[in-house]
Amino acid sequence: MMQNMTITEFLAQHLQGEHSAALTAMLSDIAHAVKQIAVVIDAGAIAGNMGSLATESVQGVNVHGEVQKTLDVLTNDIFVEAIQKSGYVAGMVSEEVVDPIKSMVKNGQYLLCFDPLDGSSNVNVNISVGTIFSVLKAPNSQPELADFLQAGTEQICGGYALYGTSTMLVFTTGDGVNGFTLDKKTNTFLLTHPQMQIPQNTTEFAINMSNYRFWQEPVQRYVDECLQGTEGERDKDFNMRWVASMVAEVHRILVRGGIFMYPSDAKARMGKLRLMYEANPMSFIVEQAGGGSSTGLQRVLEVSPTGIHQRVPIMLGSKNEIDRIASYHQKKSKRK
Ligand code: AHM
Ligand code: MG
């Protein structure tokens, strides 16, 4: 029965084509890293490695008096070590490291871009965080920075781990989206969310409303109409959520629909989120689940990257709402 299939069984049965052996091995390594990260996140303040580089010093002292790294650094190190195990990864880009990370692997054929701990400002307040990853083909086994600059359409796998009320691993290899829950009794990921689909319509949106005055007119118009509810253009009431943890928001959208926006605004022209290891893998997943993902003016997956840490405006989720907000942007750009 599909529901109880382990991730190992799933990979053996479902992955086909030229990348299947490599993807099976890399996803097994990633699953292993996620289990280790879940353990350090679970340990929380007891281990003394809470906090993030943005708010804390790089090192702290745990309750046992041992010097500890912050969780951003610790999770980055766990990921980097784990994903080189099976010998396929030629190079890596991490949100935590300025330059591409060289791999110890000889003749690696793939590139990995990842954010080891997304939403890390939530760690100290015990709210869900995640890991996001994207797999690309390596043009050569000793990749240079330019080799990473591939559009999201070139991804062969995109995924995330959510460290929430349960730990989940969700990914796509271009054949739908499947979600696995970590069974802590057996330390095994089990298929609990096969072929996830995002409803086309929704009445739930997610955006950081405190930025309202900085948004461009199409985003203000869309949100204004949602807020007007039955008294406005849309003639229905909307609900709003903002976790400030992209992985948690995308997961909610995959489960019950909705849209998530981190648009361009007057403070941050390119938005906040990073193209290579946040926007691209999430857009791949959302499109594979029947949703849409747009900068407002183009499909996120078609943005040509110019830098490994570049930011991009993003709106993703239920298809009909994303089409609507994109149409508001297009009307404005035609008026210009
Ligand atoms: P991070 O990579 O530094 O954790 O930042 C990304 C996070 C996303 O998970 C989330 O959607 C967003 O930042 C929240 O931003 P804000 O605090 O501006 O609402
Ligand atoms: Mg991040």
CATH fold for domain 7-193: Fructose-1,6-Bisphosphatase; Chain A, domain 1 (3.30.540)
pTM of the entire predicted model: 0.94
From the CA of 54, give the closest atom in ligand 1: 3
- Output the CA 160–ligand 1 centroid distance in Å: 15
Pocket test for ligand 1, best of 121, 123, 127, 163 (most atoms within 8 A of CB): 121
Lowest mean pLDDT, pick from 103-112, 118-127, 168-177: 118-127
The per-residue pLDDT for range 228-267, each reduced to its tens digit, is 999 999 999 999 999 999 999 999 999 999 999 999 999 9
Q: Which distant-in-sequence residues (6+ apart) come within 8 Å of 146 by Cβ?
A: none
Query: Residue 190: pLDDT above 90?
Result: yes
Nearest protein Cα to ligand 1, atom 11: 246
The CB density around residue 181, as the number of other CB atoms within 10 Å, is 17
CATH fold for domain 204-335: D-Maltodextrin-Binding Protein; domain 2 (3.40.190)
Q: What is the DSSP letter of 215?
A: B
Q: Which amino acid is at 34?
A: V
Nearest protein Cα to ligand 1, atom 6: 119
Question: Encoding tokens for residue 225?
Answer: 């109409």
- Output the CA 241–ligand 1 centroid distance in Å: 14
3-state secondary structure of 19: coil
- Segment 61-72 shows an average pLDDT of 62
Per-residue pLDDT band for 332 (boundaries 50, 70, 90) equals confident
What is the pLDDT at residue 334?
77
- Output the CA 95–ligand 2 centroid distance in Å: 7
The percentage of residues in the chain with a pLDDT greater than 90, rounded to a whole number, is: 85
- Segment 190-204 shows an average pLDDT of 98
What is the pLDDT at residue 144?
96
- For residues 37 and 76, the answer to whether their CB atoms sit within 8 Å is no
- Segment 82-95 shows an average pLDDT of 96
Per-residue pLDDT band for 290 (boundaries 50, 70, 90) equals very high
Tell me, yes or no, if the two domains 7-193 and 204-335 fold the same way: no
Query: Residue 55: pLDDT above 50?
Result: no
Domain-wise residue ranges, the chain: 7-193, 204-335
Query: Residue 277: pLDDT above 90?
Result: yes
Query: Residue 63: pLDDT above 80?
Result: no
Report the C-alpha gap between 92 and 94 in whole angstroms: 6
Per-residue pLDDT band for 57 (boundaries 50, 70, 90) equals very low
What is the pLDDT at residue 46?
78
What is the pLDDT at residue 56?
44
Mean confidence (pLDDT) of the chain: 93
101 backbone dihedrals φ, ψ, rounded to 5°: -95, 125
Query: Residue 118: pLDDT above 90?
Result: yes
Question: Encoding tokens for residue 206?
Answer: 């997610």
Please state at what angle helix 20-47 crosses helix 7-14, rounded to 10 degrees.
Answer: 160
Pocket of ligand 1 (CB under 6 A): 95, 115, 118-121, 208, 244-246, 262, 272
Per-residue pLDDT band for 172 (boundaries 50, 70, 90) equals very high
Q: What angle do CA 234, 237, 242 make, to 5 degrees?
A: 110
332 backbone dihedrals φ, ψ, rounded to 5°: -65, -40
